[in-house]
Amino acid sequence: MRTYMLRMTIDELMEMMPWIEDYFSSFAIDPARFRDNKLEELSSIIGEDYFVEKGSSYSDFIEGFFLFIEQVRALQQESRFMVESLTVLPGKDKKGKKESFLVELKKGEVTAIVGPTGSGKSRLLADIESLAQEDTPTGRRILVDGRSPSDEERFSTEGRFIAQLSQNMNFVMDLSVEDFLTLHAESRMVDEISHIIRKIYDTANVLAGETFSRNTPVTELSGGQSRALMIADTALLSPASVVLIDEIENAGVDKVRSLELLVSNNKIVLISTHDPLLALSADQRLVIKNGGISKLLKTTEDEKKHLKSLEKIDRKITLLRDRLRTGEEIDLSDLPV
């Protein structure tokens, strides 16, 4: 790509990337004067002395030029991930009855999706994930920031602004945890890669409970550890502004902390759950009945008040589960009635 660009004329480059004018200006070069010259000819036309006078050199100028292009493109990419709201326009339930209201999901909000087994919770997540346009069994349409999504937003595998954490997360790459995170951080062009990797790694270990090392191959992580790693990675490094979670409660991770972590990063979070603690930790819950959205309930102040005691009960159940897992005998008199 570099060689190709070096052989392009300034005019051709400007047509492709008008914003490179700013880079030329920072060297007090007017690109219009060199419009028919190739980029690689600038050294001989302008002369090395000119760049030395500016406290630089031609090779620094060229290096900086390509770095500038990379950074602007990364910024452009980043802004495509910023989503303020999603709107779910009414579709039909399993009997063909129209849903009676639309749902708007906003940045920084957590919405739980509740309903009996088989009622259509995962279907709603799948509709959002695919940005459905009346082309799924529900006939729902999803709007992004109030508009229809472009084909690129719907079908491109790169640059998705939606991340999905499903029940089974299996890695296929043969990389260590450290290499996996480095690769991801490099592709995001973040500064201070080692700092962010440490943060994700530490967070994942807290969420998983069962610790793993940075050298562990990702393929050897347990189900809970993989999920914890992906949750920490999604919260701290992924640019995705919409996070869809399918039944985190079965993942063997600290579910409440996971949710807090995702929310504190100002994303739109949807979580399908049968867990009362998670459902009531959300700002609102969508009730699914027979394939259709039947209610949208805001979490009441009263419900929030009960969260603390629910957390206590949940901690006891978790403790009980851990003791059973490690083969201990259980004293049930310890449990609340």
258 scored as a contact of ligand ATP (CB under 6 A) = no
Tokens of 170: 């299996």
**Interacting residue with ligand ATP among 64, 90, 108, 137 (CB under 6 A):** 137
Using CB under 6 A as the binding rule, whether residue 273 contacts ligand ATP is answered as: no
Q: Does 119 bind ligand ATP (CB under 6 A)?
A: yes
* Rounded Cα distance, 218 and 205, in Å: 13
Q: Quick check: 141 binds ligand ATP (CB under 6 A)?
A: no
Residues 187-226 that bind ligand ATP (CB under 6 A): none
Stretch that binds ligand ATP, among 39-47, 66-74, 81-89, 92-100 (CB under 6 A): 92-100
272/114 Cα distance (integer angstroms): 6
Contacting range for ligand ATP; rule: CB under 6 A; set: 8-16, 82-90, 115-123, 221-229: 115-123
The dihedrals phi and psi of 254, each to the nearest 5 degrees, come to -70, 100
Q: Is residue 123 part of the contact set for ligand ATP (CB under 6 A)?
A: yes
Total residues in contact with ligand ATP, by rule CB under 6 A: 16
Q: Return the number of the residue (224 or 291) whose C-beta is nearest ligand ATP.
A: 291
Nearer to ligand ATP, 39 or 271 (CB): 271
Among 38, 54, 94, 154, binds ligand ATP (CB under 6 A): 94
Identify which of residues 85 and 250 has a Cβ nearer to ligand ATP in the complex: 250
Q: Is 127 in the site for ligand ATP (CB under 6 A)?
A: no
Contact between 122 and ligand ATP by CB under 6 A: the answer reads: yes
Q: According to the binding rule CB under 6 A, does residue 111 interact with ligand ATP?
A: no
Rule CB under 6 A: say whether 291 interacts with ligand ATP.
Answer: yes
Q: State the number of CA atoms in the 13 A half-sphere of 238 facing the CB.
A: 23
Interface residues toward ligand ATP, by CB under 6 A:
92-94, 115, 117-123, 137-138, 272, 291-292
